[in-house]
Amino acid sequence: DEFHLPRHGDAEQVYMCGNSLGLQPKATEPAVQAELSKWAGRGVAGHFEGALPWATCEEALPALFADVVGAKDAALEIGAMNSLTVNLHMLMAAFYRPEAGRAAIIIEGSAFPSDRYAVASQIRHHGFDPAEWLIEVHPRAADHLFHQEDILGAIEANRDRLALVLLGGVNYLNGQVLEMAEIAEYMRSTNAAAKAAGKPVVPLGLDLAHAVGNVPLSLHDWGIDFAAWCTYKYLNAGAGCLAGIFVHSDHAADFEQHPRLAGWWGVPFARRFVMAHGFECAEGAAGFGVSNVNPLMVACVHASLSVLQKAGGVAATRKKSLLLTAYLESLLRARGLTSASTESVSAGGGGSTCRLQQITPSDPTRRGCQLSLRVLPPSGGVLEGSKPVTKYGSKPVTMRALEQLLASRGVITDAREPDVVRVAPAPLYNSFSDVRRCVDILEGCLGELYGGGGP
């Protein structure tokens, strides 16, 4: 009862797309309207009145974020500002400090494109060539998964060239949860050895777009240097809404080692309106602020985080999430619709005759809500993303065709190049009956796309 559920004709949609855009909490509209009414009735006085005075409204959010990301001192370590890629740039401006011979950044080989664009542009901005200094760790072709030894091996092999490691907490394409705690422990150990030898340390940053509100996080205890996330997926704050950052308390005042880009919202509030000529940087995450924050967005985030808190936080929603996604996986396998990522997927003769291949780990601890399903080519066809392939009936078998056919039947998923459909039951508003309806309709759609028979 906490969310608005989109409809398909006379029935509710089966909305399995919270990994792309979460649904709107019913508390959001009145929260936003309260700020609009304050603006209409009080004008500039709204900066200092009401439950969310605009001059400090973002300060209401760190305490709500604290349990979601695992911060120790929320007011010091968490900030709410900008959007995700902007925040990654702001954080890299401080933590990416390249020099001759040591300018490399490690990222996932299938990182979200905006992350790759941002990282490559940072490397270029400092006068280096991404072709030489951008290092990508790819999932293995055999199972489509990242392997911890490959990530740690890349860090070790490039240690003397590295200036930054920036990874996703949950990969957007295959839905895999990276072993963040173990990577952070390895980085702390190697950084301690480097520091003792008088060598530079390498910061570790995380993009938590698909992790925040999805899986438990302990950023402070893990020793993550910095992290950034959006709020429109599992946190349900609305498209393009205000994003968040984490900066470990160890870096609260290291202004010379990691200099911040400056703006007046990075000045401590007690000094901000003094309008001093010199910049005085606030300690912690707040020092990364540049401009005043949109109070309408703060109202959206505050409303959505309050719903999550009311549900018991991520610790509670994760329990339901594990069951929902396991149920989805079991139904898909029981009906012969999916094969595992390590199984042969030969569509014509030999191997699995399943029409989808699950490339998300089967181990529940290594995934969040999402199952990523490769749409396999029919016998005699070659699947190339959204390009037409061998036709069965009147419809080409592509991931776009499957996504669109599902949507026409009231099931909302999303497709990602080159050949993946992502299905994500969100525990705050999806039910087990949603999962069963999704699989029922998916089975019918696959039968139609493949001409009613096997591939």
Determine the pLDDT at residue 344: 44
Distances 334 to 48, 112, 223, 297, 338 between C-alpha atoms, Å? 58, 32, 41, 43, 9
18 lies in some domain: no
Whether 332 and 325 have beta carbons less than 8 Å apart is answered as no
Determine the pLDDT at residue 343: 53
Same domain, 296 and 321: no
Mean pLDDT throughout 155-169? 98
Mean pLDDT throughout 224-235? 99
- CA angle centred on 209, ends 145 and 231, rounded to 5°: 155
Same domain, 285 and 399: no
How many domains does one find in the chain? 2
Same domain, 36 and 140: yes
* pLDDT exceeds cutoff 90 at 232: yes
Determine the pLDDT at residue 452: 55
User: pLDDT for 68-114, tens place per residue?
Assistant: 999 999 999 999 999 999 999 999 999 999 999 999 999 999 999 99
Determine the pLDDT at residue 396: 58
Of the chain, the percentage scoring pLDDT greater than 90 comes to: 89
Determine the pLDDT at residue 454: 41
8 lies in some domain: no
Where in the sequence is the domain holding 375, given as residue range(s)? 312-449
User: pLDDT for 163-189, tens place per residue?
Assistant: 999 999 999 999 999 999 999 999 999
Same domain, 364 and 438: yes
Same domain, 316 and 306: no
Burial degree of 326 (CB within 10 A; 0-12, 13-18, 19+)? middle
Same domain, 205 and 181: yes
Among 207, 212, 219, residue whose Cα is nearest residue 18? 212
20 lies in some domain: no
CATH of the domain at 430: 3.90.1150.10
Write the CB contacts of 76 (distance below 8 Å, at least 6 apart in sequence). 249, 252, 283, 284, 285
> What number of residues does the chain have?
455
Query: What is the SS3 assignment for 131?
Result: helix
DSSP state of 256: T
Tokens read off for 241:
């809404």
Same domain, 197 and 321: no
Mean pLDDT throughout 46-71? 97
Among 78, 56, 66, residue whose Cα is nearest residue 228? 78
Mean pLDDT throughout 324-328? 99
Same domain, 193 and 88: yes
Same domain, 229 and 322: no
Neighbouring CB atoms inside 10 A of 262's CB total 15
Same domain, 293 and 438: no
**DSSP line for 59-109:** GGSHHHHHHHHT-SSHHHHEEEES-HHHHHHHHHHHH---BTTB-EEEEET
Tokens read off for 199:
């060598």
15 lies in some domain: no
7 lies in some domain: no
Same domain, 209 and 252: yes
Same domain, 286 and 391: no
User: pLDDT for 262-280, tens place per residue?
Assistant: 999 999 999 999 999 999 9
Distance CA 104, CA 98 (A): 8
Mean pLDDT throughout 363-378? 93
User: pLDDT for 19-30, tens place per residue?
Assistant: 999 999 999 999
Mean pLDDT throughout 316-343? 92
454 lies in some domain: no
Determine the pLDDT at residue 28: 99
Burial degree of 289 (CB within 10 A; 0-12, 13-18, 19+)? buried
User: pLDDT for 242-261, tens place per residue?
Assistant: 999 999 999 999 999 999 99
* pLDDT exceeds cutoff 90 at 346: no
Residue 117's region, left for phi above 0, alpha for psi from -120 to 50, else beta, is alpha
Write the CB contacts of 87 (distance below 8 Å, at least 6 apart in sequence). 81, 228, 243, 244, 245, 288
Q: Where is 137: in which H helix or E strand?
A: strand 134-137
- Helices 313-334 and 432-449 meet at what angle, rounded to 10? 40
CATH of the domain at 286: 3.40.640.10
DSSP state of 250: G
Q: Which of 57-71, 344-358, 392-406, 435-449 has the lowest mean pLDDT?
A: 344-358
Amino acid at 313: G
Residue 198's region, left for phi above 0, alpha for psi from -120 to 50, else beta, is left
Distance CA 414, CA 233 (A): 13
Whether 224 and 56 have beta carbons less than 8 Å apart is answered as no
The model carries a pTM of 0.93
Whether 221 and 184 have beta carbons less than 8 Å apart is answered as no
282 lies in some domain: yes
Strand pairing partners for 79? 245
Largest CA distance in the chain: 75
Domain boundary among 310, 328, 351: 310
104 lies in some domain: yes
Between strands 356-358 and 414-416, the pairing is unpaired
Amino acid at 253: A
Domain boundary among 294, 310, 326: 310
Of the chain, the percentage scoring pLDDT greater than 70 comes to: 92
For the chain, give the mean pLDDT. 93
Determine the pLDDT at residue 377: 76
Domain boundary among 259, 292, 310: 310
User: pLDDT for 375-397, tens place per residue?
Assistant: 987 654 444 444 544 344 445 56
Determine the pLDDT at residue 40: 98
